[in-house]
Structure 1
């Protein structure tokens, strides 16, 4: 196991002990960076293998050096010998939990060795000049000032007269305003525009950006989009260190989560936090439930490999992914608003002496919400002290946990029953005192006329996740402690029980993702169904927002390569496994008119599918947990 290194992007602590953000790396001419990488010296390989990728295989390191040097040589063709930084940001792996950061819950993630590299040279003007080696992403030059003024100066009263004009609301009503939907540079601009919104008086310098060959899966649930957002922030920081305020690491993580709202998805900050802060061979337990974000590094189990397998069903957020993602955010937020209505109603009933008698809580909820609870609630009706703890400690669905709320699990299950199974926009508007149009704009309009917000199963999903997350944390720490003390050997049957427990918990989480939160799909289910019969299988789940993309499969270390070969034979090489997806794309091509965004996207996705199936051995691999985003600090290795 490669030794864990400290994340690069935290420099010192302030007076309160909080880690402050900083980057201390010297720019070099791009060809000099390329020559250092191409030298293949032992110091370079040790740095990349131990401190970056957590993989010391010589052939693997040679491939990374060649790939990283290539982006520097391409950059040199554009900028000559201008001072340059070489940055890389990895994909994020949610091998254990999902979505908790979006409702102030504690989330567990890691970073994979697949990453996105970019060469950065600061400019003297405000222009972002971006080039990408991937032909799907055309080059573009944009003025930061012009883009910010277009976004910020659009008259707000035209869209939401009764809502405050802030970053949250403006990115909901006017995402990527004036720019093409799905344009890749929207992700690059997002960090810059978020900082400019907060500090409009700071004139930010632009940068020449050259993106190289990415090894992080694309549109596959590993948050490659968030990796670009993090890279753009690091580029902005290195180009403007003398002008920017001092931020703590937790402030930067919050800023990055909000920055991505610009593109049209309203997520949390877990992906960005993990991508920015993770260390090699580490799983981060990000405590979004805390007033100030904290991250607990956890050791991973020994003798377990993670196989990342792409279902090949693309998660195209620009096409349909945003609606599904934002709809789930709506389920959380509507559910949270209803929970606060219930808590307030109970407080009022207690003050008036009406919180007593058989069925008082059932009647109160029906009166306030108009929908009956989903079952009996004897604990919450009889023990009013539970409501004191709920009122003091409840903070969104992420707080549905015994250790946070301070009430037993049985009482939490009763609390969840008070929420409606589904509430329509019309019903929610009545309860919350808003008009239907505002509800649909703030919380996303359901696709179907009979659609609504599934609040009870959503709350239950997050409660289950919290139970699983706390159990995983205990297992990881306990297993490593017993091995480190010499009490237990990783080769023992008793240690293997830990592996089996973790695999079972991951399978339970996939069940909840599929049936409680409804973010799986037939292609993911098919891939996992096949994987469960493969060699060394322990557990598996979708990773990321769902509705396509990758699955992460926990496998016994000795069987990881055999699992990859098994998937080649049973999943990727059988064309019939992709017939349904292919038909959906072909139907879209027939249905939409020529030159429409939808038709062009479907055509692109069909071509991507055929290309992937022609090289399916690249679609699954054993991954390592790499270091988070950083600037490669190569100069000390040779001087």
Structure 2
């Protein structure tokens, strides 16, 4: 891992924490405790998690900070530094009542903790972060996990990684109403500095794999935002579910798409819609690419890893129909640059970011070239960031948190 990048990340987290702590005391009159959670980027394995498949994400150096202190009136009060807005709820009457507001995410964590038998007493919480919203870097999971860590401390409780990730996913699925898998919450909570994670989304078993020292991960934001709660993301999830149901009915032994082969899918083609067939073909082939990507990493074969990223992007664009013209342009520009091994869309799709694997000594020039060409082509100024795998929330807490 690049020590300079890691040091910058630590300083950034401390700055976010110091400001949130200062504002919290000024607003609520009490010292609070700060807890942080990073963002994530997925190197390969898109839309496979909610069908029990394989993914390969890493935690990256953006952060959400949650500062918490006690109050004695039985209320949950959230203040967002980013929105400069405060909302308040009576804990005794809390139900599953999302409002389509940013507060649904932290409030949903309170509700989800209760489903685990953990009831929290009154609290004030200040939230701050620099994770780009709608960029495919999982700002929602970062917010959920930071909130969960703060509230678990407030309640005097500790939970294992799988439970933290599961309750935060429940927040997303059952409270907010977004049809997402568990990858985001799992890597945001459980990432480890210097490692990418191969996660089996059915068993929740995982391996930590080294990122070769000769490459950097560059994240490029198309500046086109997306949303997961409903819309096209929800449509794709429904199409996948319909195809999976056909396979489950027609092919004994198949429970989830990760159990199916492309031959199984072809045999059931006439029994599902063309859209479901294409979406399922993406997921089945993507699971295979993730497993092959693991082998490429272990061999240090960054060339093959990059080829798999390009194949994954084509599958997201064509079979899953979840890219966008702006993202496609970013990928095309990236692949023309010296030292770029691979590029693809990352996150749920329909905008957001690309993830790029770039030779370390070409990374700075890559960023400048991509920014310049994207601006010249589409008139949009893309944000680009050179990243390295960072610690997730549980590892940060074990190392003393962000205070």
Distance in 2 of aligned mates of 1:472 and 1:117? 33
- From 384, 391, 394, the equivalent of 1:627 is 391
Aligned to 2:226: 315
| TM-score when normalising by structure 1 | 0.59
Matching of residue 67 in structure 1 with residue 16 in structure 2: yes
Distance in 2 of aligned mates of 1:215 and 1:333? 34
Distance in 2 of aligned mates of 1:186 and 1:254? 17
Change (3 A) 1:634 1:280: closer
Q: Structure 1 segments of 4 or more deviating over 4 A? A: 60-64, 630-638
Matching of residue 524 in structure 1 with residue 327 in structure 2: yes
Aligned to 1:147: 94
Query: Per-residue CA shift, 1:197-226, capped at 9, x if unaligned?
Result: 454xx64213211123x2322210001011
Query: Per-residue CA shift, 1:4-49, capped at 9, x if unaligned?
Result: xxxxxxxxxxxxxxxxxxxxxxxxxxxxxxxxxxxxxxxxxxxxx7
Matching of residue 476 in structure 1 with residue 389 in structure 2: no
Distance in 1 of aligned mates of 2:90 and 2:299? 53
Matching of residue 324 in structure 1 with residue 232 in structure 2: yes
State how many pairs are aligned. 401
Distance in 2 of aligned mates of 1:281 and 1:331? 36
Aligned to 1:186: 104
Contact in 2 for aligned 1:289/1:399 (Cα 8 Å): no
SS at match of 1:539: strand
Contact in 2 for aligned 1:54/1:625 (Cα 8 Å): no
Distance in 2 of aligned mates of 1:575 and 1:532? 15
Change (3 A) 1:95 1:477: same
Change (3 A) 1:455 1:101: same
Matching of residue 254 in structure 1 with residue 163 in structure 2: no
Aligned to 2:374: 571
Query: Per-residue CA shift, 1:439-494, capped at 9, x if unaligned?
Result: xxxxxxxxxxxxx6722222221221121111111122233xxxxxxxxxxxxxxx
Matching of residue 55 in structure 1 with residue 15 in structure 2: no
- From 372, 378, 398, the equivalent of 2:258 is 398
Contact in 1 for aligned 2:221/2:352 (Cα 8 Å): yes
Distance in 2 of aligned mates of 1:276 and 1:61? 17
Change (3 A) 1:419 1:138: farther
- From 362, 365, 377, the equivalent of 1:559 is 362
SS at match of 1:94: strand
- From 119, 128, 135, the equivalent of 2:67 is 119
1:395 to partner: Cα distance: 2.4
Contact in 1 for aligned 2:148/2:164 (Cα 8 Å): no
1:551 to partner: Cα distance: 0.7
SS at match of 1:306: strand
Aligned to 2:287: 466
Matching of residue 263 in structure 1 with residue 27 in structure 2: no
Matching of residue 420 in structure 1 with residue 272 in structure 2: no
Distance in 2 of aligned mates of 1:289 and 1:635? 31
Contact in 1 for aligned 2:309/2:344 (Cα 8 Å): yes
1:502 to partner: Cα distance: 0.9
| TM-score when normalising by structure 2 | 0.91
Query: Per-residue CA shift, 1:582-639, capped at 9, x if unaligned?
Result: xxxxxxxxxxxxxxxxxxxxxxxxxxxxxxx4xx5xx11211211001465787999x
1:421 to partner: Cα distance: 6.4
Distance in 2 of aligned mates of 1:203 and 1:71? 25
Contact in 2 for aligned 1:257/1:272 (Cα 8 Å): yes
Query: Per-residue CA shift, 1:250-286, capped at 9, x if unaligned?
Result: 2332222122111121211111011001111111111
- From 41, 46, 49, the equivalent of 1:93 is 41
1:235 to partner: Cα distance: 2.0
Contact in 1 for aligned 2:43/2:57 (Cα 8 Å): yes
Contact in 2 for aligned 1:54/1:626 (Cα 8 Å): no
1:504 to partner: Cα distance: 0.6
Describe how 1:241-320 pairs up with structure 2 within 5 A.
Answer: 241=156, 247-261=159-173, 262-290=175-203, 293-317=204-228
Query: Per-residue CA shift, 1:79-113, capped at 9, x if unaligned?
Result: 3343x321111111112111211001122111111
Query: Per-residue CA shift, 1:297-356, capped at 9, x if unaligned?
Result: 1111221111111101111346xxx2211112112211121112213xxxxxxxxxxxxx
Matching of residue 206 in structure 1 with residue 111 in structure 2: no
Distance in 2 of aligned mates of 1:269 and 1:107? 10
- From 128, 139, 163, the equivalent of 1:224 is 139
SS at match of 2:34: strand
Query: Per-residue CA shift, 1:115-174, capped at 9, x if unaligned?
Result: 112212133443221112213x621111233231xx3xxxxxxxxxxxxxxxxxxxxxxx
Distance in 2 of aligned mates of 1:128 and 1:267? 26
Change (3 A) 1:276 1:65: closer
SS at match of 2:206: strand
Distance in 2 of aligned mates of 1:233 and 1:637? 15
Aligned to 1:239: 154
Distance in 2 of aligned mates of 1:141 and 1:118? 16
Distance in 1 of aligned mates of 2:48 and 2:401? 40
Change (3 A) 1:96 1:422: same
SS at match of 2:305: helix
